[in-house]
Structures are given as C-alpha cells and as structure tokens.
Amino acid sequence: MNTQTYLNDFLTQTHQKNASQKVFLQAVEEVVRSLVPVLDQNPVYMKEKILERIVEPERIISFRVPWRDDKGEIHVNRGFRVQFNSALGPYKGGIRFHSSVTADSLKFLAFEQTFKNSLTTLPLGGGKGGSDFDTRGKSDTEVMRFCHAFIDELYHHIGYHTDIPAGDLGCGAREIGYMFGQYKKLTNDFTGAFTGKKPNWGGSLLRPQATGYGISYFAQNMLATRGDELNGKICVVSGAGNVGIHTMEKLSELGAKVVGFMDYDGSIYDKDGVNAEKIAFLKDLVFKRRGSVQEYAKKFKKAQFRPGKKTWDIPCDCAFPTACENELNGEDAKMLLKNGCKCVCEGANMPSTPEAVEAFKEAGILYSPGKASNAGGVAVSGLEMTQNSMRIYWTAQEVDAYLKRIMNNIHTSCLTYAEQFAQKGDYVAGANIAGFLKVADSMIDQGLV
C-alpha cells in the first residue's frame, strides 16, 4: 500500500473512532500530515502500526472530585489524568484547572506533550491532567480543599517513577503546594513527584520563568536565521498569565518593545511598551492580587484597555500567542500579516487554527508551533527532577544556561529534520518529525506493549 493511501485510511479510522474529539483530531492531523516523507522512507512504522498505537493513550483516568465551599455547600467536579505515552520515561505534563477542561481537551494536550517532551531530549513521557474546576473567584481555603480532594484520588496513579504532574492554566505554585502537601501526607513520602514546586521545598529556580524565557530564546534563534534580531522589534503577546508575563519580561530584557497583551476581560495597548516597573506591577496584579489587566490602564494612563478585544489587530513585527488552543484564527492571521508581522512564535499549545497556520506558511513568515517553542517549561521541570534526584539546587544562572542550550537544540532539530525530509524551513514539520522519530523508535525497541 502506498503511504498516501495508508494515511488516508488511518485518518478516516481515527476520525471515526474519535468523532466528537475536535481538538484532538486537529492535533493528530497536523502531526500525521508532516510524516508523509518519513513513512515513505521508513515503511517499518506502518508495518509496526506505530501511528495506530501512538494516537491511543496508554490510560485515561477519570474520577469524581467532591469538595465543600466556605459556606459548607457541596460541589462535585470531574478530575482526569491522561497517561498518554511512556516510551521515553515516566508520564510528564501539567494539570489544568479551568471550566473548559474535558477528557477531549486533555487528550489533545497529552498527545502534544508527548512530542514536546521528546523534543526536549530529556527522559520524559507524555501526560496531562486537570479538572473543570475554575480557581477564579474561589478563596484560598476553597482552592486548598479542592486540591486535597483532587489528590485523594490522583495519588493512586502518580509518583516519582510513574507520573509527575506540574502546573498549567489555572494551576500555579499555590495549587502545586496544596497538591504536593496532600500527596506527601497520603504516601508518607517526600519525593519529586510534582514539579513547579516552590524553591524552598524542592522547586527549581527559574521554573516559573522557564516557558516564557524559552519562548523568547526560541524567537531569537528564529530571527537569527534571517540575519535579524529581537532588539527593537515591536511585539504583542496574548495571555497575561505565568507564560505571557515572563515572555514579556524576557522580550523586553532582550531589547524588544511589547505593546500589547490580554486576559479574559480584554486587551491592553501600550504604545510605549512594557518596562521593568510595569512588569513588576503586572506580576503583583496577576500573581498576588489575581486581578484583571484593566487595572494596568488605570495605573499607566497612556495605556489603553480594550474590553473583549484580542491583541492581533495591534501592528507588530512579532506575535506570541501564549493563552490557549485555537485563540488565533484565520482572520487574526490575515490582520497580523497585513500589518507586517514577520514572526509568530507560539507560547500556548496549538493556539493557531489550521487556517491561521496555512496563512503564515503561505506568506513565508517565520512560524513555530508551541510544541517546539514552549518546551522550555517542561524542560526545566525535567531539570527540577534531576536536582531532586541529586538532592541539590542549581543556581539560576546554571538553570538558565541549560534552558538556553535546550532551546537552541530544539531549534536546530526542527530545522535539521525539516530539511532532511524535504520541508526546509518548516518548523511544524521539523518539530513533528523530530518528536515522532524518538518516540516511535523507542516504542519499537520496547515491543508490543
């Protein structure tokens, strides 16, 4: 059977089996389409049914999370952990707490995580978990009770050599602290079973900054391939959470001018660009007071708050979607291109719709998929695990040097594999191929399990 026929049959079957799982299918299509030349040259992956096996999670755990609010009322949420692939190491990936979380959305995220973790070159399998619980509007004690209830079940399924959760949307150091505390109490074991811990009890320095800093280093590498640099570039970011704020921080340190960012309520257009003082204000606003970016425009009068609006209409040289999947659509992409954007470096997981990706590719601008450019976060999680195993702490400079090296390696891998399989300069193809080959070969080595 020729590769194209095989792939068409495979995709038809995958669509039939997962008919309602839209984002998961979108992610599978993107990866599989990049693999045509790989399968052509290596029919063994078809013979071994690697695609059929790689799209099937090893295990999905779904459970009930009952908890009481401050008034004593009972609530019931759904908890999940998708243990997608353990060919390269124990399952590794974040926990997402957001009302949009479903088994489908986590399955897609865990699938992406498998390839992302492979790209880091560290021994990490792929997983993801979470709950449809929204931390917004909840008190600290409510969040704590919820996190404890979540771990009351999840602790059976995770562990230092099995599955190591971390943070993600709606799940930061506070939530990791409560989850780790309950895990330790139930298992009577203080191990690095979570990453994203605070540095005073086992966390790595620079873990909170790692995704955002890594994205900026990756963008620097991308621009360098065209003899260009970040210094002086006008940039817009979308999210204003952990990833967004640390992306803005590093971009500004590298000489770029970040003029736009947003959160759930709307976006900020600040023509003057953010600086260290503004970043410090944003960190306090978002991480400590858990407030909305509206307050930024009240504090810095020249900035404009645009209720309910995204950032993609703001003229820029470089765009960094760091919020969530499918946040940047075909129209947004056209707008960015019309305004002269020449680099889109993804910070979220699959934030650009297929139409947007097509538009970027057609225009020939620099475009990197999240699984490559946002891998710095999980990479430093891997380094946190190493430090925990060695029972030492590295300095921020040491972690930063590793992070830079890993981001450089991922960048080089993307370009090398894209070129080797006749898709020169295509970061999507390069990331998918490089991520896939390591997992696929390891699956073959380990036999039919």
Q: Binding to ligand GLU by residue 347, rule CB under 6 A?
A: no
Question: Is residue 93 a contact residue for ligand GLU (CB under 6 A)?
Answer: yes
Report the residue number, 195 or 220, with the smaller CB distance to ligand GLU.
Answer: 195
Half-sphere exposure of 131 (CA within 13 A, CB side): 24
Of 168, 270, 313, 317, the one binding ligand GLU by CB under 6 A: 168
Inter-residue contact 92 to 163 (CB < 8 Å): yes
Query: Residue 274 Cβ, how far from ligand GLU at the closest point, in Å?
Result: 23
What is the nearest approach in angstroms of ligand GLU to the Cβ of residue 323?
A: 13
Nearer to ligand GLU (CB atom), residue 106 or residue 415: 106
Q: At 293, phi and psi to the nearest 5?
A: -65, -15
Q: Which is nearer to ligand GLU, 368 or 423 (CB)?
A: 368
Kindly state whether residue 195 participates in binding ligand GLU, applying the rule CB under 6 A.
Answer: yes
User: Is residue 92 at the binding interface for ligand GLU, with CB under 6 A as the rule?
Assistant: yes
Region binding ligand GLU by CB under 6 A among candidate stretches 8-16, 86-94, 182-190, 282-290 = 86-94
Q: By CB under 6 A, what part of segment 221-240 binds ligand GLU?
A: none
Shortest distance in whole angstroms from residue 348 CB to ligand GLU: 8
Which tokens is 291 given?
């407030």
Shortest separation between residue 191's beta carbon and ligand GLU, angstroms: 16
Nearest to 340 by CA among 196, 429, 236: 236
Is residue 378 within the footprint of ligand GLU (CB under 6 A)? yes
- Identify whether 128 is a catalytic site residue: yes
Q: Which stretch binds ligand GLU (CB under 6 A): 47-55, 90-98, 141-149, 270-278?
A: 90-98
Tell me whether residue 91 or residue 312 sits nearer to ligand GLU (CB atom).
91
Minimum distance of ligand GLU from residue 159's CB (angstroms)? 15
- Toward ligand GLU, which CB reaches closer, 113 or 423? 113
Q: Is residue 381 at the binding interface for ligand GLU, with CB under 6 A as the rule?
A: yes
Residue 94 near ligand GLU by CB under 6 A:
yes
CB of 435 to ligand GLU, least distance (A): 13
Tell me if 203 contacts ligand GLU by CB under 6 A. no
Q: Output the smallest distance, CB 370 to ligand GLU, in A.
A: 8
Q: Does 129 bind ligand GLU (CB under 6 A)?
A: no
Nearer to ligand GLU, 28 or 383 (CB): 383
Q: Could you tell me which stretch among 7-15, 89-97, 132-140, 337-345 binds ligand GLU (CB under 6 A)? A: 89-97
For residues 16-75, which are near ligand GLU according to CB under 6 A?
Answer: none
Q: How far apart are the C-alpha atoms of 163 and 80, rounded to whole Å?
A: 13
Q: How far apart are CA 359 and CA 34, in angstroms?
A: 17
User: Distance between CA 7 and CA 10 in Å, rounded?
Assistant: 5
Q: Does 351 bind ligand GLU (CB under 6 A)?
A: no
Q: Does 87 bind ligand GLU (CB under 6 A)?
A: no
Q: Which of 92, 107, 116, 128 is catalytic?
A: 128
Is 371 a binding residue for ligand GLU by CB under 6 A? The answer is no
Where in the sequence numbering do the catalytic residues fall?
Answer: 128
Q: Give the interface with ligand GLU as residue ranges (CB under 6 A).
A: 92-94, 166, 168, 195, 349, 377-378, 381
